[in-house]
Amino acid sequence: MALPLGLLASTFATVFLAELGDKTQLAIVTISGTSSRPGAVFAGSATALVLASLVGAAAGGSLSSLIPTNLLQLAAAVGFLLIGMQLIIRSLASTETPSE
């Protein structure tokens, strides 16, 4: 059975467009822009995204009943806030003591 390229292409396009400008991608831009380890940022985000879609594909329709997704999103929100706070604090600190 030939590989259904049509399906592959349509999934790729759908997910790629859905992801463009998505808050996850904004977070990736932010973290990679302020990190000295862009490689790790790429590896971490790519792995996480693939795992998340694996979970999504495997769980089929019952994802929300299986995993309290909004509780997870709350945890993610806290994660974003923490990273954001740390960045702001560091940017304030580095303006007071101008790094050479």
Partner 1 sequence: MSDQQEPASTDATGNTPGDTSGLGSSAAASWGAVFVTTATTVFLAELGDKTQLAALLLSAQSGQPLVVFAGASLALICSSLVGVVLGRWLARLLAPELLERLAGILMVVLGLWLGRQAILTLPNFS
Least distance in angstroms from the C-beta of 61 to partner 1: 6
Least distance in angstroms from the C-beta of 25 to partner 1: 5
CA pair distance 57, 96, nearest whole angstrom: 49
Least distance in angstroms from the C-beta of 9 to partner 1: 7
Contacts of residue 28, Cβ cutoff 8 Å, sequence gap at least 6: 41, 45
